[in-house]
Structure 1
Amino acid sequence: MKHNGNGMPGEDLTVAGYLIAQLEAWGVKRIYGVIGDANLRFLDELSRSSAIRYIACRHEGAAALMASAEAKLTGRIGVCLATSGPGAANLVNGLADAAMDYAGVLAITGQVETSKHGTRTKQFVNQQLLMQALTDQSRELVSGQALPELLHGLLVQALLHGKAAHLSVAKDVWEQKLTGLPIPYGSYLHQPLLTPREALEKAVEELSRAAKPVLYVGSGAGQVKEEVLSLAELLEAAVITTLPARPLFPNDHPRYAGGLGQAGSEAATVLLRESDLILMLGATWWPDDYVPTQARLIQIDRSPANLAVGHPLLHGIVGDLADCLPELLAMVRRLPQADRAAWVRRTAGVTAEWNSQLLMEAARETHPLSPQMIMREIADAAPPNAVIAVDTGDHTIWFNRIYQAKRDQTVLVSGRWRTLGFALPAAIAAKLAQPERPVLAIAGDGGSIQTMMEFLTAVEHKLPLTVLILNNASYAMEANRMKKAGLAPLGSSIRNPDFPKLAEACGGAGERTDSLTGLREALQKASSSPVPFLIEVITAPEMAPHTKL
C-alpha cells in the first residue's frame, strides 16, 4: 500500500488497498475469515497492514460468529471474510446472529469474475439474493470508482444502526485502481439523540405515582448501570433483566428478581404480573408466556423500530439511555414518591423465596453433577471481570436460572437467532478484543461440537481461555420437550468424542470430571493455564421447569 508524504494513503490505491485503508480509518482491528480463490488479492494486500490482524478460522460460519461477538462486546464494527459460493453461504449462520441481535458486522466476500456472472461457472451464486434476508444492505462492487461511496454507506449501516452489511467483490475487480482518499470516521456520526423534555416529564409523572414499579433492563442499558441502580432504589422498584444484561444490576440486591422467560426466574413473572407500571430500558425481549397480557409500560430505546413491538405501550421514548436516563433520574428525585412500603415487602418476600429455592437446587449434590450445581460453581469461580460466552441449549436455561453475575462481567449470547456453536467463537473474539480479561465459554455437548475445531484457532493464537462443556449425551432441551409431548426422542441422543483428548490433539489442555471436587480442581487449573483449557463435565439429565413442546 502506497502512502503520500503526510501519511495518508495516496490516490493510486487498488480496490483491495482502499478497502483496507478505509477499515483502518474506522478503527477495525481484526478480520475473521477463511481463505479462498476469490479473496486472494485482498489477503495479499491485508498482509501488509500493520493495523489490522487477520484471524484465519476453520469455518466461515465461525468467522461470522466471531465478528458478531466482537461487535456485541466492543460496540465497534466486526468484520468477516469469505470467498465466493460455499464460502459466502457458510457465513449466513453467523450473519443471522449479528442481524437478530443488532450487532454491527461487515461481511466481505469474493465473487467470480464479472464476465462469468449469471453463468453456470463454478461457485457462482447471486450473493445479494443470498444475503437479502439478513442484511439491510448487500452490495456488489462492479467498478472500483464506486467503492468509496458504497463502502461508507455499509460502514454507517453497521456501526450506527447495528446492522449486518455485505460487500461482494469480483476476482477481477480487486486490482482495479481508484482515485480518492478513504473517508475518515467522524465523531459527528455519534451525536446524541435529543429526547424532548416533555416526553420524559410524562414518564416521570407516571413513575412517581406508581405503587408497584418494575424496571426491566436489557443490554442496551450497558452504559448506565449506575443510574439504573440509583433509579431502582429511588423508586423502590423490582428489577428484572434479560440474560445478557444480568451483570448490569447487582444479582444479590434485595430488589433483583432475576431474568425473564423460561430461562429466567419465576419471581420475575410473578412481580411483572402484579406491577402497575413497567419501565423498559434497552430491552426488546418480551416472551408472551411470561409477561402480563395487559401491562402499563413505558419503553426507552434509541431505535423507534423497537418501541411497542409485541406489547402495549403507555409511553414510548426515543433516546440514548446514556443521555436521557441521568436526566430522568434527576427529574424523579425532584418529585414526591408514592407510598411503596407494601410493594417493598412483597418484592422482598418473592425474591427471598426464589433465592432460597435456587440455593436449595444448587446445593443438591448428585452423581453425575446437576446443571444447577455446575452453574453455581462456575459463578463462584469466574473472576469479577470475566467475559462469559454462553452457547444455546439446555444449559442456557440453567445458566440464567442459577448463575449469579458480578457487576464487571459481560455475558455474550446468541440472543434471538440462538444458534448452536456460538460460545467458542465468541470466546475467541472476546479474548482477542480484550486480552486482559479472563474469558470462559460455556456450552453443551450438542452445541460445542458444531464449532469445536475453532479450538485450533484458539491454540494457534495462544489464547488462554476456558471452555466448559456440559455433557449429558443428548440434545437435552429437545429430548425433554419430546418426552413431555409423548413423542419418540429420535435424533436426540449424541455420541460424543473424548473432548479432553480432542483438546490435547489440538495443542491445548483438557480434563473430564463427574464430581464436585474434580470440577473445582479443573476450574482452578484452567484459570492459570497458558493454553486453551477444556473442561468436560458429565452432567445429570435434569428437566428444566416449564418444559413443553
Structure 2
Amino acid sequence: MPDATTAADALAAAFAAAGTKRIYGVPGGGSSLDLIAAARARGIDFVLARHETSAVIMAASEAELAGTPGVALCTRGPGVGNAANGMAHAALDRAPVVLVADGFAPAERAFATHQYFDHAAMLAPVTKVQLAVGQMAAGDAAVQAIGAAMAAPRGAALIELSGSVARQPAALPAAQPSAALPAPDAAAIAAARRVLAAARRPVVIAGLEAVTAAGPLRALVAALGCPALVTYKAKGVVADADVHFAGIFTCGAAEGPVLDGADAVIMVGADPVEFIPKPWRWNVPVIEVATSARTLPYAAPAAALTGDVAVALRALAEGAARSDWQAATIAALRADWLRALANDPRRGSGIGPQRLVEVTQAAARAAGFDPRVAVDAGAHMFPATTFWQCERPGDLLISNGLATMGFAVPAAIAAALHDPARGALAFTGDGGLLMGLGELATAAVLGVKLVVVAFNDATLSLIDIKKDARDLPAGALGWPRADLAAAMRSMGGIGLTATTEAELAAAMAEACAATGPVLIDVAVDPSGYPAQIKALRG
C-alpha cells in the first residue's frame, strides 16, 4: 500500500482505514478522477452510477448494512445539485455518508462563475459538516467528515476537493477517533428499571438504531414476554415469525390496538423521523433508549437511556419480571393487524398487491433465493413491508425518513454488491422505477444478482388516493403503461412480464435461476390500496 503523497491519496487512505469498500458516483473532470485512482491504490472499488442521487443512495445503503462510512463522489455544480436528494435521504434515514464533490480552487473564485453556486450552503440543511480541502488539510477534512457522519445520530457530510488541490502534497490522515458509544448513565438505568418494574403490560417499539442490537433486544422481549412492534427500518430486528412480533409501528391507526393495551412503552432506537406526523396519543410512561438525546421526541420520556443501545437493553433485561401478556393475546393482535391491512382485492385486472408479495416470496423460497429486499416509496410499500416476512435485521431496506421514490433499485444494487451470496430483490412502483431507469443499466453492467419486481399500474397510486374529490386534468396522476420489461432488455438485463399469479411464479423461478439482473413487469390491480391505507393511517 503506497504512502499518501497527495490530498486525494489522504482522503482515500482515511476511507480505507474506516472500512469503506466502495465509492459510488458519477465523476467529473476535476478531482473525481484523482480520487478514483487513489482509492483503487488503497483497495477501494469504484462503482459508476447513472445518476448522482442513485450513487448516494447506494453509498447510504451499503453504509447501513456494513456499519462503515459510505462514500460518494460527483462533479461540481450540476453534480452536487443532482446529489442533493440522495444526501437528504442519508440525513433523514441516519446513514453515514461522505460526499466528495469537485470544488473550486481559491484562485478560480476570482473569476469563475460557470457552474458555480455555494455547494456548502445548498447542502447545509442535510449535512452535519461542510468542509473544503485547501481551507484545511485533506487528512483533517477526512477525519472530521467521517467522525461527523458516524457520530450519533448518524448522517451525511460534505467534502469539497478541487482538481488542483487534489494533486497537491498532503500528509497521511491521523487515526480516526473511536466512534464507540458510552454506556448509559447508572442513574438513568435505575430510573428506567423503576418504570419497568411498575408495568405489567409493557410494549416494545424497535426502530432504526436497534438494528445493531437485535440480540439484546430479542432477549429483553423474551424475558418480558411482551408484544414487540418494529418500524419499517427495523423490520427483522424481531422476526415476523417470532411469537412476540405484533406488527409495524408508524404512529398510525393499525397498531393502535396493541398500544391501547399497554401500561408502558419501551422505545428502542426508534427515531421520530421514522413516524408519520401524528401526535403521540398513549398516556403511559415511556422509556426512551437511544444513541443520543432526541431533539424532538414524540413523547416526553419518563426515563431516557442514551449511549450504547445494546448495553442499555442488557441492563433493562437484568432481573426483568415477566409481564402479564399472554401468547394467545399477542397472536390475536398480530392476526388482527394483518387482517386490517389485507390487500387482495381480486376485483380488477392484474394481480393484487398482497398476493404479488406473497407469491414472490414463496417462489424465492422454493428456489433457495434469500435476498435482501429494497422497497421503494409509493402505495406498494404498504403490502411489501407488511407481507414480506423478515428474519434478520437488514433483511429490508427502505427510505423511511425521507421516503423518496427512486430508492429501491440503487439500494438493491448496493445490497447485492455488499453480499453477493444473498443477492437482492427490489420492489418498486413504475413511477419510482421510471425516475431512475438508468440504474437498470448499472445493474446489468455489474452483473449483480438482482430481481426487480415492478408494480405496474401506470398511476401514482398513493397520490391518486389523496386527490379526494379534486377535479384534476387528465394525465395529472398517471401515464400510458410503460413496457418496463422491454426497457430492461434494452439495457442488457432479462425482462419478463406477468399478469397472473401463475405467470409471476414462473417468472420468479426463471429470475432466481439467472446469474444477472432480471426485471419482472407485473400488471397490478390497485383497487385494494385505499382501504389498506385507511386502515394503516386512520
Q: Deviations over 1:489-533 (max 9, x none)?
A: 652112343111111111110101110001111111111211210
Q: What is the correspondence of 1:401-416 to structure 2 with a 5 Å cutoff?
A: 401-407=386-392, 410-416=395-401
Match for residue 9 of structure 1 among 3, 13, 21 = 3
1:290 CA displacement: 7.9
Q: Which residue of 2 aligns with 1:215?
A: 204
Deviation at 1:365, TM superposition (A): 8.2
Highest RCO, 1 vs 2 (Cα 8 Å, sep ≥ 6)? 2
Distance (Å, rounded) in 1 between the aligned partners of 2:167 and 2:222: 60
* Counterpart residue number, 1:157: 148
> Does 2:445 match 1:460?
yes
Q: Which of 327, 349, 353 in structure 1 is aligned with 2:336?
A: 353
Q: Which residue of 1 aligns with 2:507?
A: 522
Partner of 1:376: 358
Q: Per-residue deviation at 1:403?
A: 2.5
CA contact (8 A) 2:225 2:322 kept: no
What residue in structure 1 maps to residue 226 of structure 2? 237
Q: Distance in 1 between matches of 2:144 and 2:173?
A: 13
Deviation for aligned residue 1:48: 4.8
1:399 aligns with: 384
Deviations 1:255-279 (A, max 9, x none): 32211238x772x211112311010
* Partners of 2:188 and 2:469 in 1: CA distance: 48
- The match for 2:302 among 314, 331, 343 is 314
The match for 1:26 is 18
1:64 aligns with 2:56: yes
Query: Could you tell me which of 279, 291, 301 is aligned with 2:290?
Result: 301
- State the aligned residue count: 527
**Cα 1:69–1:125 shift into 2, 3 Å:** same
Q: For residues 407 and 337 of structure 1, what CA distance do their matches in structure 2 show?
A: 24
Distance 1:409 1:108 in 2: 26
CA distance in 2, matches of 1:526, 1:394: 24
CA contact (8 A) 1:281 1:299 kept: yes
1:248 and 2:237 matched: yes
Q: AA paired with 2:142?
A: L
* CA distance in 2: counterparts of 1:364 and 1:208, whole angstroms: 48
Bigger mean CA offset, 94-103 vs 63-72:
63-72
Q: How far apart are the structure 1 equivalents of 2:55 and 2:89?
A: 12
Q: Which secondary structure state, in structure 2, belongs to the residue aligned with residue 177 of structure 1?
A: coil
Q: 1:170-220 CA deviation, whole Å, 9 max, x = no partner?
A: 232122113x3232345xx13341212332222223223312211101121
Partner of 1:83: 75
Aligned counterparts of 1:489 and 1:254: Cα–Cα separation in 2: 49
1:331 to 316, 319, 339: 319
Q: Distance in 1 between matches of 2:470 and 2:259?
A: 32
Distance 1:211 1:287, change over 3 A: farther
The reply to whether residue 270 of structure 1 matches residue 262 of structure 2 is no
TM-score normalized with structure 2 length: 0.91
- 1:367 is matched by which residue type in structure 2? S
Q: 1:329 to 1:38 in 2, by over 3 A?
A: same
Paired with 1:20 and 1:350, the residues of 2 have a C-alpha distance of 51
TM-score by length of 1: 0.89
- Percentage of pairs with the same residue: 26
CA distance in 2, matches of 1:344, 1:312: 30
Residues 1:98 and 1:288: Cα distance change in structure 2 (over 3 Å): closer
Letter in 1 for 2:423: P
Stretch of structure 1 that moved more, 380-389 or 145-154: 380-389
Are the equivalent residues in 2 in contact too, given 1:258–1:265 (CA < 8 A)? no
Amino acid at match of 2:351: L
- Match of 1:394, SS state, is coil
Cα deviation for residue 364 of structure 1 reads 5.2
Q: What letter corresponds to residue 488 of structure 1 in structure 2?
A: L
How far did residue 294 of structure 1 move? 2.8
How far did 1:26 drift? 2.1
Kindly state the Cα deviation for residue 430 of structure 1 after the two structures are TM-superposed. 1.0
Q: Deviations over 1:79-135 (max 9, x none)?
A: 011111101111101011001111110000112343232645311111111211111
- Work out the CA distance in 1 between the residues paired with 2:268 and 2:521: 37
Give the CA RMSD over aligned residues.
2.5
Do the aligned residues in 2 keep the contact of 1:385 with 1:409 (CA within 8 Å)?
no
Q: Which of residues 175, 186, 196 in structure 1 aligns to 2:185?
A: 196
**After superposition, what is the alpha-carbon deviation per residue over 1:467-493, rounded to whole angstroms, capped at 9, x for unaligned?**
1100011000001110x3444265211
Cα distance, 1:130–1:236 mapped onto 2, change above 3 Å: same
- The 3-state SS of whatever aligns with 2:520 is strand
Q: Is the 8 A contact 1:511 1:534 kept in 2?
A: yes
Matched position secondary structure for 2:283: coil
User: Letter of the aligned partner of 1:146 in structure 2?
Assistant: A
Other structure's SS at 2:301 match? coil
Label 1:361 to 1:111 Cα distance change in 2 as closer, same or farther (>3 A): closer
Which runs of 5 or more residues in structure 2 are unaligned? Answer: none
- Does residue 1:117 correspond to 2:109, yes or no? yes
Note if contact 2:241-2:391 (Cα within 8 Å) is conserved in structure 1. no
- Distance, in Å, in 2 between the alignment partners of 1:313 and 1:46 is 48
Contact 2:243-2:327 at 8 Å conserved across structures: no
1:240-266 Cα distance to aligned partner (Å, 9 max, x none): 11012121112133432211238x772
| Matches of 1:106 and 1:40, distance apart in 2 | 14
